[in-house]
Structure 1
């Protein structure tokens, strides 16, 4: 007997000609290969402000249901699977143990070689330290292009390994060199003078929002990759969603005016993905409990979709 019942969680309506990007997500199995691999990193305990960023991996995956697989501007219909490794299991109380688990999980994902590009769905920005450690262990020297309103070079003495310290820790532990860190989108009234001076003392390349407005993200990324490609084995993109103006990213815990618009961020991503040395990206600092109509998660999902598309052009 036909019953008017559908399996729980499936779309209320299915058009026979329409495929949603969420349908491309395939749980990892031995031997699976895809355009990109995804790993959720649901950690927000180290945040120095209230944050529900641990809910973001699920929110971003859900937002993929809002995108079809057809990219009208290029006539491209996405078919390659996106291999989903699931989420790292965090320790209920220990931040350091959670960070160690992230390094272990990322290293295990990389050894499977399921895709040429890895996307980490954070989580707060503290996850970047652990992820970059894994890339250094598995892939060699790492250069980072960081899209962010903040330097995230806070000292570790005042609060330990927080979401404000990931790049300070990478520098202090010798995992990366300052000359191999490029920051784009750093904003007025969002950082302490001491941390800007620390960045410059360490040889970090700092591009402010004034640079973004005058030169464009594509040009800044192009210049950054030219600087990095002869010095590193792998280039890692770190996208803190608060690089966007607060009008576009209400779900970021540290929103403020004067940031990028989504098109500027996408231009930077498009330029970066032209280069085969760019092998990974994390997307961090979304709190779905603060978001409005999933605006911030939807932009993050678009970054995932565009990455999958551009890797197959």
Structure 2
């Protein structure tokens, strides 16, 4: 057998520090019966987007971005070397937009049913995936509350364009899966929504915090108050993180970029704080298009959102 010197398999790290573990190294494919504290699944779906979007590429981009981070939190002294079970991606049909949403629901329903982990992270995809994910999640957790980080209400009517990435929370409300009063929206931005959808939110009892509201009060205080209210009404809480809640300076890879949004530290602080609540069990991250990102900036923020979620569960 010919021996090759100084050659590594393609794709392996060029440099390995013996004392450093990167978060991507924790990802482990699921096997029947395997359990861990955290599990992830990809929902590579973006053809329901009302604007141009390559968000179907985001699950892979976010996983790759995990290679940018170590497992050690210097701020807390916690080093989490736990396995993260990776279920891979739900298979998508290249042309069946409506059918893909059903596939996402069925695929995520099967994934959640494994009970492989107490805490879940779903990597989108555009925001339409949240309807499928929360619907599947509600099968074992019928009383669900949602905290949505977003510039948009995503309460658009279905008649004008079908089930798009602008409709997931209206559909959840109208399907009887989510009570309007159990939906908390943080970061709603000026000139990104129609008055009719602000009115719909009021009609259904949705709790809305605009960027102006959040400028007047620390986000931890807002979350403390709303988590306390939600926990009295629901059994579990699901975080839905639309990355366009961030200002365009922090998330250039979002299809719907715009000024006046959150800074990345505020979002990371909020997810970390919310994750510490015992009823927060799952999170999705949506609306990143890696094909228009700059140096993977947006995917790196998303990967850090995952880390803050996991860190919050370790405090």
Q: Report if TM-score (shorter chain) is over 0.5.
A: yes
Aligned counterparts, 1:226-265, within 5 A: 226-265=228-267
Q: Which residue of the partner structure matches residue 141 of structure 1? A: 143
Shift of 1:77: 1.2
- The C-alpha deviation readout for 1:254-308, integer Å capped at 9, x for no partner, is 0100000011111211221121111100000000001000000000000112222
Which one of 84, 88, 92 corresponds to residue 86 of structure 1?
88
1:17 aligned residue: 19
Rounded to whole Å, the distance in 2 between the matches of 1:108 and 1:161 is 22
Q: 1:309, 1:156 → 2: CA distance?
A: 37
CA shift at 1:309, angstroms?
2.4
Corresponding residue of 2:129? 127
TM-score by length of 2: 0.97
Any idea what the Cα deviations from partners look like across 1:148-181, whole Å, max 9, x if unmatched? 0000111111100000011111111111111111
* Partner of residue 46, structure 1: 48
Would the aligned equivalents of 1:240 and 1:285 in 2 still touch at CA under 8 Å? Answer: yes
- Give, in angstroms, the shift of residue 310 of structure 1: 2.4
Q: Over the residues paired in the alignment, what is the CA RMSD in angstroms?
A: 1.0
Matched, 1:210 2:208: no
Partners of 1:188 and 1:307 in 2: how far apart? 28
Following TM superposition, the consecutive aligned residue runs of length 4 or more in structure 1 with deviations greater than 6 angstroms are none
- Consecutive unaligned residues in structure 2, runs of 5 or more: none
The residue that corresponds to 2:152 in the other structure is 150
Cα distance in 2 for partners of 1:273, 1:217 equals: 14
Contact 1:34 1:114 in 2 (8 A): yes
Alpha-carbon deviation of 1:224? 1.5
Matches within 5 A, 1:175-194: 175-194=177-196
* SS of corresponding position for 1:207: strand
User: TM-score, with normalisation over the residues of structure 1?
Assistant: 0.98
Deviates further, 119-128 or 9-18: 9-18
- Cα distance, 1:22 vs. partner? 0.3
| 5+ long unaligned stretches in structure 1 | none
Deviation at 1:2, TM superposition (A): 4.8
Check whether the contact 1:35–1:312 (CA below 8 A) recurs between aligned residues. no
